[in-house]
Amino acid sequence: MTLLAIDNLTKVFGGVRAVDGVSFSLEAGELLAMIGPNGAGKSTCFNMVNGQLAPDSGRIVLAGVDIGGLPPHDIWRRGVGRTFQVAATFSSMKAIENVQMALISRQSRIGRLWKPAARYAREEAQALLRRVGMAEQAERPCGVLAYGDVKRVELAIALAGAPKLLLMDEPTAGMAPGERNALMALTREIAHDSGVGVLFTEHSMDVVFGYADRIIVLARGRLIAQGDPRGVRNDPRVREVYFDARHRVIGASE
Ligand code: ADP
Ligand code: MG
Protein backbone atom coordinates (compact mmCIF):
# COMPACT_ATOMS: atom_id res chain seq x y z
CA MET A 1 0.00 0.00 0.00
CA THR A 2 1.33 3.44 -0.88
CA LEU A 3 1.69 5.36 2.36
CA LEU A 4 3.33 8.53 1.13
CA ALA A 5 3.17 9.95 -2.40
CA ILE A 6 5.25 13.02 -3.16
CA ASP A 7 4.39 14.67 -6.43
CA ASN A 8 6.36 17.42 -8.13
CA LEU A 9 7.39 18.97 -4.81
CA THR A 10 9.15 22.33 -5.11
CA LYS A 11 10.64 24.86 -2.68
CA VAL A 12 12.59 27.94 -3.73
CA PHE A 13 14.65 30.11 -1.35
CA GLY A 14 15.50 33.40 -3.01
CA GLY A 15 16.86 32.20 -6.32
CA VAL A 16 17.84 28.73 -5.07
CA ARG A 17 15.61 25.83 -6.14
CA ALA A 18 16.29 23.85 -2.97
CA VAL A 19 13.76 21.17 -3.96
CA ASP A 20 12.90 21.16 -7.65
CA GLY A 21 10.03 19.02 -8.91
CA VAL A 22 10.74 15.96 -6.77
CA SER A 23 8.38 12.97 -6.99
CA PHE A 24 8.66 9.65 -5.18
CA SER A 25 6.57 7.30 -3.09
CA LEU A 26 7.01 5.17 0.00
CA GLU A 27 5.16 1.99 0.89
CA ALA A 28 3.91 0.99 4.32
CA GLY A 29 6.62 -1.09 6.04
CA GLU A 30 9.35 0.22 3.75
CA LEU A 31 12.72 1.63 4.82
CA LEU A 32 13.56 4.32 2.26
CA ALA A 33 16.89 6.17 2.35
CA MET A 34 17.23 9.68 0.93
CA ILE A 35 20.83 10.45 0.08
CA GLY A 36 22.71 13.19 -1.75
CA PRO A 37 25.60 15.61 -1.22
CA ASN A 38 25.34 18.59 1.14
CA GLY A 39 22.89 21.14 -0.18
CA ALA A 40 21.02 18.54 -2.26
CA GLY A 41 17.69 19.46 -0.64
CA LYS A 42 17.24 16.55 1.78
CA SER A 43 16.45 18.64 4.88
CA THR A 44 14.18 20.94 2.92
CA CYS A 45 12.26 17.90 1.70
CA PHE A 46 12.00 16.47 5.23
CA ASN A 47 10.84 19.81 6.61
CA MET A 48 8.04 20.00 4.07
CA VAL A 49 6.87 16.50 4.98
CA ASN A 50 6.88 17.29 8.72
CA GLY A 51 5.21 20.67 8.24
CA GLN A 52 8.03 22.99 9.27
CA LEU A 53 8.08 24.37 5.74
CA ALA A 54 5.19 24.87 3.34
CA PRO A 55 5.80 23.73 -0.25
CA ASP A 56 5.76 26.34 -3.04
CA SER A 57 4.06 23.76 -5.22
CA GLY A 58 3.48 20.05 -5.48
CA ARG A 59 1.67 17.54 -3.31
CA ILE A 60 2.51 15.50 -0.21
CA VAL A 61 -0.15 12.82 0.08
CA LEU A 62 -0.18 10.70 3.26
CA ALA A 63 -2.60 7.77 3.20
CA GLY A 64 -4.70 9.53 0.59
CA VAL A 65 -4.76 12.99 2.21
CA ASP A 66 -2.75 15.99 0.96
CA ILE A 67 -0.89 17.21 4.07
CA GLY A 68 1.30 19.75 2.24
CA GLY A 69 1.30 23.10 4.03
CA LEU A 70 -0.55 21.89 7.15
CA PRO A 71 0.96 23.01 10.46
CA PRO A 72 3.43 20.58 12.12
CA HIS A 73 1.05 19.62 14.91
CA ASP A 74 -1.65 18.63 12.42
CA ILE A 75 0.80 16.57 10.45
CA TRP A 76 2.00 14.81 13.61
CA ARG A 77 -1.62 14.16 14.56
CA ARG A 78 -2.15 12.50 11.19
CA GLY A 79 0.67 10.06 11.87
CA VAL A 80 4.00 11.57 10.86
CA GLY A 81 6.55 11.03 13.63
CA ARG A 82 10.21 11.90 13.77
CA THR A 83 13.36 11.19 15.69
CA PHE A 84 15.85 13.94 16.31
CA GLN A 85 19.50 14.07 15.42
CA VAL A 86 20.43 15.49 18.80
CA ALA A 87 19.39 13.36 21.75
CA ALA A 88 15.93 14.65 22.68
CA THR A 89 15.39 12.69 25.88
CA PHE A 90 15.32 14.31 29.30
CA SER A 91 18.47 13.03 30.90
CA SER A 92 17.34 13.25 34.53
CA MET A 93 14.18 11.25 33.82
CA LYS A 94 14.07 7.47 33.71
CA ALA A 95 13.86 5.84 30.29
CA ILE A 96 10.33 4.66 31.01
CA GLU A 97 9.19 8.12 32.16
CA ASN A 98 10.37 9.62 28.87
CA VAL A 99 8.29 7.09 26.94
CA GLN A 100 5.28 7.58 29.27
CA MET A 101 5.37 11.31 28.61
CA ALA A 102 5.25 10.69 24.87
CA LEU A 103 2.33 8.28 25.31
CA ILE A 104 0.37 10.74 27.40
CA SER A 105 0.96 13.42 24.82
CA ARG A 106 -0.48 11.10 22.17
CA GLN A 107 -3.48 10.30 24.36
CA SER A 108 -4.23 13.97 24.63
CA ARG A 109 -3.91 14.19 20.86
CA ILE A 110 -6.64 11.62 20.34
CA GLY A 111 -8.73 12.83 23.28
CA ARG A 112 -8.22 9.88 25.58
CA LEU A 113 -6.77 11.67 28.59
CA TRP A 114 -9.85 10.80 30.66
CA LYS A 115 -8.63 7.20 30.75
CA PRO A 116 -6.55 6.13 33.75
CA ALA A 117 -3.65 7.58 31.82
CA ALA A 118 -0.64 6.95 34.01
CA ARG A 119 -1.17 3.22 34.51
CA TYR A 120 -2.07 2.58 30.91
CA ALA A 121 0.93 4.57 29.77
CA ARG A 122 3.25 2.64 32.07
CA GLU A 123 2.34 -0.75 30.66
CA GLU A 124 2.51 0.44 27.10
CA ALA A 125 5.79 2.26 27.77
CA GLN A 126 7.25 -0.96 29.14
CA ALA A 127 6.10 -2.81 26.00
CA LEU A 128 7.71 -0.17 23.75
CA LEU A 129 10.99 -0.37 25.68
CA ARG A 130 10.89 -4.15 25.31
CA ARG A 131 10.37 -3.65 21.57
CA VAL A 132 13.59 -1.64 21.29
CA GLY A 133 15.57 -3.94 23.58
CA MET A 134 15.59 -1.57 26.57
CA ALA A 135 13.24 -3.33 29.03
CA GLU A 136 16.07 -4.09 31.46
CA GLN A 137 17.10 -0.45 31.63
CA ALA A 138 13.62 1.05 31.94
CA GLU A 139 14.23 2.42 35.44
CA ARG A 140 17.60 4.03 34.74
CA PRO A 141 17.83 7.78 34.10
CA CYS A 142 18.60 8.50 30.43
CA GLY A 143 21.63 10.53 31.48
CA VAL A 144 23.52 7.40 32.55
CA LEU A 145 22.72 5.33 29.46
CA ALA A 146 25.20 4.59 26.68
CA TYR A 147 24.69 6.75 23.59
CA GLY A 148 23.39 3.85 21.50
CA ASP A 149 20.86 3.04 24.24
CA VAL A 150 19.63 6.66 24.35
CA LYS A 151 19.00 6.34 20.61
CA ARG A 152 16.87 3.26 21.30
CA VAL A 153 14.85 5.19 23.86
CA GLU A 154 14.38 7.97 21.28
CA LEU A 155 13.06 5.38 18.86
CA ALA A 156 10.61 4.14 21.52
CA ILE A 157 9.51 7.77 22.10
CA ALA A 158 8.89 8.24 18.38
CA LEU A 159 6.92 4.97 18.23
CA ALA A 160 4.83 6.10 21.22
CA GLY A 161 3.18 8.58 18.85
CA ALA A 162 1.94 5.57 16.81
CA PRO A 163 3.28 6.99 13.55
CA LYS A 164 2.32 5.67 10.14
CA LEU A 165 5.42 7.36 8.77
CA LEU A 166 8.62 7.90 10.72
CA LEU A 167 11.16 10.51 9.59
CA MET A 168 14.71 9.91 10.82
CA ASP A 169 17.33 12.57 10.24
CA GLU A 170 20.73 10.92 10.38
CA PRO A 171 19.65 8.45 13.06
CA THR A 172 23.13 6.98 13.51
CA ALA A 173 25.14 10.23 13.67
CA GLY A 174 27.85 9.98 16.31
CA MET A 175 27.42 6.25 16.87
CA ALA A 176 30.10 3.57 16.72
CA PRO A 177 29.77 1.19 13.74
CA GLY A 178 28.50 -1.74 15.83
CA GLU A 179 25.79 0.38 17.47
CA ARG A 180 24.83 1.84 14.09
CA ASN A 181 24.24 -1.54 12.57
CA ALA A 182 22.23 -2.69 15.58
CA LEU A 183 19.99 0.41 15.51
CA MET A 184 19.32 0.13 11.79
CA ALA A 185 18.65 -3.61 12.01
CA LEU A 186 16.12 -2.86 14.76
CA THR A 187 14.53 -0.02 12.76
CA ARG A 188 14.19 -2.24 9.73
CA GLU A 189 12.64 -5.03 11.78
CA ILE A 190 10.10 -2.61 13.29
CA ALA A 191 9.23 -1.20 9.86
CA HIS A 192 8.77 -4.63 8.32
CA ASP A 193 6.85 -6.09 11.28
CA SER A 194 4.58 -3.17 12.10
CA GLY A 195 4.06 -1.60 8.67
CA VAL A 196 5.48 1.78 9.72
CA GLY A 197 7.09 3.45 6.71
CA VAL A 198 10.51 4.96 7.45
CA LEU A 199 12.20 7.75 5.50
CA PHE A 200 15.77 8.44 6.63
CA THR A 201 18.81 10.46 5.63
CA GLU A 202 22.22 9.09 6.36
CA HIS A 203 25.83 9.86 5.61
CA SER A 204 27.23 6.39 6.18
CA MET A 205 27.04 4.54 2.88
CA ASP A 206 27.52 1.26 4.77
CA VAL A 207 24.28 1.91 6.64
CA VAL A 208 22.44 3.07 3.52
CA PHE A 209 23.45 0.16 1.34
CA GLY A 210 23.25 -2.36 4.17
CA TYR A 211 19.74 -1.60 5.42
CA ALA A 212 17.60 0.47 3.05
CA ASP A 213 14.96 -1.37 1.07
CA ARG A 214 15.16 1.36 -1.53
CA ILE A 215 17.19 4.53 -2.06
CA ILE A 216 16.39 7.87 -3.66
CA VAL A 217 19.18 10.23 -4.63
CA LEU A 218 18.91 14.01 -4.72
CA ALA A 219 21.39 16.44 -6.22
CA ARG A 220 20.83 20.20 -6.41
CA GLY A 221 17.19 19.81 -5.57
CA ARG A 222 16.44 17.21 -8.21
CA LEU A 223 15.83 13.52 -7.90
CA ILE A 224 18.52 11.96 -10.07
CA ALA A 225 18.16 8.25 -9.31
CA GLN A 226 16.11 5.77 -7.35
CA GLY A 227 16.01 2.04 -6.94
CA ASP A 228 17.27 -0.84 -4.86
CA PRO A 229 20.73 -0.55 -3.26
CA ARG A 230 22.49 -2.54 -5.95
CA GLY A 231 20.99 -0.52 -8.81
CA VAL A 232 21.73 2.82 -7.15
CA ARG A 233 25.29 1.86 -6.24
CA ASN A 234 26.06 1.11 -9.88
CA ASP A 235 24.20 4.10 -11.33
CA PRO A 236 26.67 6.30 -13.26
CA ARG A 237 24.78 9.52 -12.34
CA VAL A 238 25.13 8.69 -8.64
CA ARG A 239 28.82 7.89 -8.97
CA GLU A 240 29.33 11.16 -10.80
CA VAL A 241 27.55 13.23 -8.14
CA TYR A 242 29.46 11.63 -5.29
CA PHE A 243 32.76 11.91 -7.13
CA ASP A 244 32.05 15.58 -7.95
CA ALA A 245 31.14 16.37 -4.36
CA ARG A 246 34.29 14.74 -3.02
CA HIS A 247 36.37 16.51 -5.61
CA ARG A 248 34.95 19.89 -4.61
CA VAL A 249 35.57 19.24 -0.94
CA ILE A 250 39.16 18.22 -1.59
CA GLY A 251 39.58 21.25 -3.82
CA ALA A 252 38.19 23.58 -1.14
CA SER A 253 40.55 22.37 1.56
CA GLU A 254 43.67 22.83 -0.57
P1 ADP B 1 20.72 19.03 2.45
O2 ADP B 1 19.91 18.74 3.64
O3 ADP B 1 20.62 18.00 1.37
O4 ADP B 1 22.15 19.29 2.79
P5 ADP B 1 19.20 21.51 2.34
O6 ADP B 1 17.80 21.11 2.11
O7 ADP B 1 19.59 21.88 3.71
O8 ADP B 1 20.17 20.37 1.76
O9 ADP B 1 19.55 22.75 1.39
C10 ADP B 1 19.22 22.79 0.01
C11 ADP B 1 19.55 24.17 -0.53
O12 ADP B 1 18.64 25.12 -0.01
C13 ADP B 1 20.94 24.67 -0.19
O14 ADP B 1 21.42 25.42 -1.27
C15 ADP B 1 20.69 25.55 1.02
O16 ADP B 1 21.68 26.55 1.12
C17 ADP B 1 19.33 26.15 0.70
N18 ADP B 1 18.54 26.45 1.90
C19 ADP B 1 18.08 25.53 2.80
N20 ADP B 1 17.34 26.13 3.76
C21 ADP B 1 17.33 27.46 3.46
C22 ADP B 1 16.74 28.61 4.08
N23 ADP B 1 15.99 28.51 5.18
N24 ADP B 1 16.94 29.82 3.48
C25 ADP B 1 17.68 29.92 2.37
N26 ADP B 1 18.26 28.87 1.74
C27 ADP B 1 18.11 27.66 2.27
MG1 MG C 1 20.49 18.49 5.65
Quick: pLDDT tens for 193-217.
999 999 999 888 889 999 999 999 9
Same domain assignment for residues 109 and 193: no
Is 55 near ligand 1, meaning CB less than 6 Å away? no
pLDDT band (50, 70, 90) for residue 222: very high
pLDDT at 86 over 70: no
Please list, residue by residue across 59-86, b when 16 or more beta carbons sit within 10 angstroms of its beta carbon and e when fewer do: ebbbbeeebbebeeeebbebbbbbbeee
Which residue's CA lies nearest to atom 17 of ligand 1?
18
With a cut of 70, say whether residue 227 has pLDDT above it.
yes
pLDDT at 116 over 60: no
Give the model's confidence band at 240: pLDDT under 50 very low, under 70 low, under 90 confident, else very high: confident
Q: How far apart are CA 80 and CA 195, in angstroms?
A: 13
- DSSP class of residue 169 equals E
Local confidence band at 254 (pLDDT 50, 70, 90 cut-offs) = very low
Q: How sure is the predictor about 110, in pLDDT bands with cuts at 50, 70 and 90?
A: low
> Which ligand sits closest to the CA of 220?
1
Q: Which atom of ligand 1 is nearest to the CA of 44?
A: 6
Spatial neighbors of 91 by CB under 8 A, at least 6 apart, are: 141, 142, 143
71 and 167 assigned to the same domain: yes
pLDDT at 113: 54
User: Which ligand 1 atom lies nearest to the CA of residue 40?
Assistant: 3
Give, using CA atoms, the residue closest to atom 26 of ligand 1: 13
Rounded to the nearest 10°, the torsion over CA 128, 133, 137, 140 is: -60
pLDDT in tens, 164-197: 999 998 888 888 888 999 999 999 999 999 999 9
Please give the share of the chain, as a percent, with pLDDT higher than 90. Answer: 69
Across the chain, what does the average pLDDT equal? 89
CATH number at residue 171: 3.40.50.300
22 located within any domain: yes
Residues with CB under 5 A from ligand 2 (ion): 42-43
Q: Please tell me whether residues 64 and 2 are part of one structural domain.
A: yes
**DSSP 3-state assignment of 118?**
helix
Q: Is residue 85 part of a domain?
A: no
Distance from C-alpha of 233 to C-alpha of 227, rounded to nearest angstrom: 9
One-letter amino acid identity for 119? R
Does residue 246 have a pLDDT over 70? no
Which residues constitute the domain of residue 243? 1-79+163-254
The count of domains in the chain is 2
47-61 pLDDT, tens digit per residue, is: 999 999 999 999 999
Ligand 1: does its nearest atom lie under 6 Å from the Cβ of 201?
no
Last residue of some domain: 119, 136, 161? 161
